Structure 1
Amino acid sequence: MKPSPRLISLLINLWPPFLGAGIRVRHIRPDWREIVVSMRLGLTNRNYVGVHFGGSLYAMTDPFFMLMLMHTLGSDYYVWDKAGRIEYIKPGRGVVSARFTLEEAALESIRAHTAGGDKYFPELQVDVVDASGEVVARVHKTLYVKRKKPR
């Protein structure tokens, strides 16, 4: 039995690195195709000039595409983070958030590229936005996906 999105959300929110940085999972859609995460600005995640520390901005986006693909594709697939990069657009102040989404077209492409057992490295992107909806940072995640050999 797989853990529910609600249980996963609770566990992630209690994970010490996220708890200390003020990172919160706000919502996981039951089909795992959308996750909303937020982070408040506090003493533990601000940098020298008083805005969100870049490492915390990246951390708030780190595991979610991998988790979404693992739960959406199922146990017939290996899914790992392969690479990531972040572009800082403007200083982050106050509460920032990220909405991760998986479109059906992306899932179909992944399934098609891995149908023969080949490795595939999809690149997914999420924007971190401030309370007014302005982009603070853009994160690109490259994942490793491979269909497992049938037993």
Structure 2
Amino acid sequence: MAIWPPFRFAGIRVPTIAEDFSHARVELRLHWYNRNYVGAHFGGNLFSMTDPFWMLLLMQRLGPDYMVWDRAGEISFEKPGRGTVHAEFHVDPAVVDAIRDAAAGGDKVLRWFETEVRDQAGDVVARVRKQIYVRRKRGR
């Protein structure tokens, strides 16, 4: 993901993805090319840095028998982000089991996941919610 253009050209880095896809950490450093008019992080980049991770981690944790898609997302900006900001994603095994159980009969499962974007002091810069769609693939 280090060379994926939407991340690379926004200044987004992914220093950590656990081998078992249970955790990821994403960072965004403030540069001249990703600042907004008032010198803080551009809100679109704050959302972009969190965008694919719940879907990607769940796809890997659930395995190839499931369709996993982003369905909806929202962000609330709590304070201006300056310097380096980060977001952490932790996929609880109990949540994966609950999704598998709910999708076992072929029904779609919609679940919201939340992530906080924090600055270097640990203050919340933004809160991001993503709704993930999961369904067991037909014939599996």
Q: TM-score, normalised by structure 1?
A: 0.90
For residue 67 of structure 1, what is the aligned residue in structure 2? Answer: 56
Partner SS for 1:110: helix
Could you tell me the percent identity over the aligned residues?
53
Using the TM superposition, give the Cα deviation of residue 128 of structure 1 relative to its aligned residue in structure 2, in angstroms: 0.4
Count of paired positions: 140
Runs of 4+, deviation exceeding 3 Å = none
Between the aligned partners of 1:99 and 1:146, the Cα distance in structure 2 is 25
Please state if 1:38 is matched with 2:58: no
Instruction: Report how far residue 86 of structure 1 moved.
Output: 0.3
Shift of residue 106, structure 1, vs aligned partner: 1.1
- Which residue identity does 2:91 align to in structure 1? L
SS of the residue corresponding to residue 75 of structure 1 reads coil
- Structure 2 residue runs of 5 or longer lacking an equivalent are none
Alignment of 1:9-20 (within 5 A): 12-20=1-9
Q: Specify which structure has the bigger relative contact order, considering alpha-carbon pairs within 8 angstroms and separated by 6 or more residues.
A: 2
List alignment gaps of at least 5 residues for structure 1. 1-11
Task: Let me know the Cα RMSD of the aligned residues.
Answer: 0.8
Determine the C-alpha separation between the residues in 2 that align with 1:137 and 1:32.
23
Deviation per CA, 1:62-85: give whole Å up to 9, x if none: 001100011110000000000000
Deviation at 1:150, TM superposition (A): 2.4
